[in-house]
Structure 1
Amino acid sequence: MQPRNMSMSGVVDLAAVKAANEAKQKAEQARAEAARQGGAPAVPADNLVFDVDEAGFETSVLQLASEVPVVVAFWSRRSAQSEQLVQQLAGLAAEYRGRFVLAKVEGESAPMLLQQFAVQGVPAVFAVVAGQALPLFQGVAPEEQVRATLDQLIQVGEERFGLTGIQVADAPAPVDAPAPAGPYDALLDAAMDALNANDFAGAVRAYQNVLADDPANPDAKAGLAQAELLGRVTQLDPQQTRKDAAERPADVPAQIAAAELDLAGGHIEDAFGRLVDTVRVTAGDDRDAARVRLLELFEVVGADDPRVGKARTALARVLF
């Protein structure tokens, strides 16, 4: 259905019709009174869009229309077009911040209003301004055309009826709510406490408990790899480890120990490079042991670290 009546020229009387000059005078008096009392109270942004039925139309639309243009959208749950249009108008109501409000009327539940507004089909959009109903359009329309119609409506409301809109309250600053506790948060916290206390065996047990129920848990997998690494490194003599690695370049356990010492000391690229070189110069079970330990060290550092990606590429080159 194509939009029609994109004009402010037609005016349909309602039972609550008032003369334009009287409406304008009343609006000016209301603003003066509000200013005398310190200004009109701001309304929440959620109040800019609301549902209305026949019983509440007079109080929620006709009375509000003496303060701000009210766009009345007739829609149906059986019409995808009308649902789309209502969503579009609701977004524009939020954007225009109180220069108009949107009243949604589900046509099936309001036959008298459909008759009163002479609605031919949904979606159909009208405006109520100071007790007068103005046909806007029927059917969907491009957003720029809808905006132009709303701008014209706002101009008519202000110039003819003295309606300058309502003040909208700023949204409160979001409060950072604590994230809900996950099913393994307590165990993961206990594991971290154990790591901080250098109780690496206790941390390993806590992470293993999580992985027993959730084998793919990324925090537990990374934590377990870290706890096992630190547990092994604390048993090493750094001087002797480096001496053994320098003297026996093809000795896989010696190279693994030195690589783990490098990693624990923050020398990540050195650790990865050492084990990639070890994979290159070894074969069989020794080669596989170096490769598996390198993959475990990737878990410690984390897959998102660019040094891990670089080392994976280097490992692939020496393997294939």
Structure 2
Amino acid sequence: MTDSAQEPQSRRVDARGAVDLSGLASQGAPAAPTPAGPAGQSPTAQAQATAGPSAAPNSWAIQVQPQQLQQVVELSGQAPVIVLIHGADAASATMKTTLEDLVDAQQGRLLLAEIDSAAHPELAQSADQVPVATAFIGGRPVGEFDASVPADQLAQLVTQMVQMATQNGMTQKLPAQSTRVVEGQEPPAEPELPPLHQAALDALENSDYAAAATAYQQAIKEKPDDEDAKIGLAQVKLLQRTTGADLAAARQAAAENPDDIDAQIAVADLDVLGGHVEDGFSRLVRFIQTHFGDDRETARAHLVELYSITGDTDPRVSASRKQLARALF
């Protein structure tokens, strides 16, 4: 792996992204959140995880579009990411299969994001050669390699990435993002969502957040214990609050007005959306530690909502809940 001093470009994340990676798994769809179940996974991911032995094996390889690249790089703050730009040639097919095998063998310790240069010729023109893979950890490129690297060295590189991530405190496992088709086996059918949930996702694909919120609200009205709808609605509200927001301006406003709960919430929302989950949580916990009355309760309630969006099984949520308990008592 060759070291790279190149800094990643300034990134703007416009989807849940680091909160629920399965939002990237739909090729060609606009980046948008997928409702998480009680375990912090999407309904599809949960079905895959609980499927019987005849189901297609889980995979941590996803097809993404060039416009999702910023989000993918941001995800490397949660787990290592390899971005593979491949073509339709034999070398690409070999490298793609090898990396998929290696990444899936790690069972969620890293992610492989694949971009088809045949569908995006501008990428093939900008890259010196295809296939080419770039490794990211913590939002920074840590190496680049191509088809000349033999399979045994690719295995070593993947192992090194996992080790580097562990040394930097990145120890969580990601939920499966897709399934791999076994030769001679039909791919599993996607489980059907309840009609209102499907309507919400359809609206999200068109960036119609108001319609998505309405669908989730109706689902909750019809079934008050629908936790998936509640989390989906919280995700949509997060997108509504942050659409068009200027992070730099929000941070400046929060710094200049430390007692303004709305200003603190605005930055916390953007941090969670951008993958800086701990930063968003810590900001609100600090506010709770130093404020009382209605503003304190507003901050607490909002923090709990962000917990639900991130997922109760996420270790960052568990750690923040302990901090919140100390702040309150």
Structure with the greater relative contact order (CA < 8 A, sep ≥ 6): 1 or 2? 2
Query: Is the shorter-chain TM-score for this pair beyond 0.5, marking a shared fold?
Result: no
- Larger relative helix fraction: 1
Coarse TM-score class (shorter-chain normalised): 0.3 to 0.5
TM-score in terms of structure 1 length: 0.43
TM-score by length of 2: 0.42
